[in-house]
Amino acid sequence: MRNQIEVLDMLQTIDMELSELEEHISEYPKRISAYEEELEAYGEKLESLNSEKQELLKNKSSMELELTQNEETIKKSEEKLFEIKTHKEYEALQKEISETKRMNSELEDKLLEEMEKIENIESQISATNEELTGKKTDYEEKISGFKEKLEEVETLYGPKKEEKEKIVSKISPDILPIYEKIKKRNGEVLALAKNEVCTGCNMNIPPQLFNEVLTLSRIIQCPNCTKILYCEEELNSEAKTG
């Protein structure tokens, strides 16, 4: 049984290494996309602020155009005033002029509001740009760091998996299902039996059973935690007292 315990110990070690690699393989892409998404969010925010700014600029120039056109109308109408013969026509035209002037003064107020909005959006754009510049280098470094790490663990994974297959082939087919079952339940499969105590769960091992562990006659599981028990002399070189 000594040989089997040693192989089980190797299997347990490599299983732990594999599950750590698997954890990284699933974790790193998530970290990468979290940083990428945040950078993308800045891009989207800037895009929407810029298109809002474009819209405001368009409004502004159409207001300016309307203002100029109204001023021309006023100028022409004021020239026309001199040619008018009747009092009624004169009054009507003057009313029209003062109406256009009133509209223009309203337009000027709106134009000022529009310009304030543009200033506001421009300061939002530059603040967002500044924030993005502050984070971009840092995030890009983190992203490429995680990409490198991911490549590294992916490169390790295949050979490690092959190594595991070689170890598995050395385990008796009746022991492997026991190992898998305990691993699924406990994570850790092996437990050192010392002074009639299972160090996996700290419960006493019946003396009869403990003797069997010592004689290495068969695979013995702890009656309490079901871990496979081994004694110290079974794993000497790579002492594992877990």
* Closest CB 40 distance from Zn ion, rounded Å: 51
- Helix-helix angle 176-186:2-81, to 10 degrees: 40
One-letter amino acid of 179: Y
CB of 160 to Zn ion, least distance (A): 29
Q: CB pairs under 8 A, 24+ apart, for 108-116? A: 108/67, 110/63, 111/60, 111/63, 111/64, 111/67, 114/56, 114/59, 114/60, 114/63, 115/60
Q: How many residues bind Zn ion (CB under 5 A)?
A: 6
Told to check if 221 binds Zn ion by CB under 5 A, we report no
* Complex with Zn ion: residue 1 or 192, whichever CB lies closer: 192
**Farthest-apart Cα atoms in the chain, separation:** 132
- Per DSSP, the three-state class of 59 is helix
Minimum distance from residue 177 beta carbon to Zn ion (Å):
19
49 counts as binding Zn ion under rule CB under 5 A: no
Nearer CB in complex with Zn ion: 156/201:
201
Least CB distance to Zn ion at residue 230 (A): 12
Q: Of the ranges 90-98, 158-166, 216-224, 230-238, which one interacts with Zn ion (CB under 5 A)?
A: 216-224
Q: How far apart, in whole angstroms, are the C-alpha atoms of residue 183 and residue 188?
A: 6
Mask for 187-206, x = binds Zn ion (CB under 5 A) = -----------x-xx-----
Pick one of 222, 228, 230, 235: the residue that binds Zn ion (CB under 5 A).
222
Gap between the Cα atoms of 43 and 41, Å rounded: 5
Which residue from 152, 203, 147 is spatially nearest to 28, judged by alpha carbons? 147
Q: Quote the least distance from Cβ 229 to Zn ion, whole Å.
A: 7
Cα separation, 242 vs 199, whole angstroms: 7
- Cβ-based nearer residue to Zn ion, 94 or 199: 199
We find the least distance from the C-beta atom of residue 239 to Zn ion, in angstroms, to be 19
Q: Which residues sit at the interface with Zn ion, rule CB under 5 A?
A: 198, 200-201, 222, 224-225
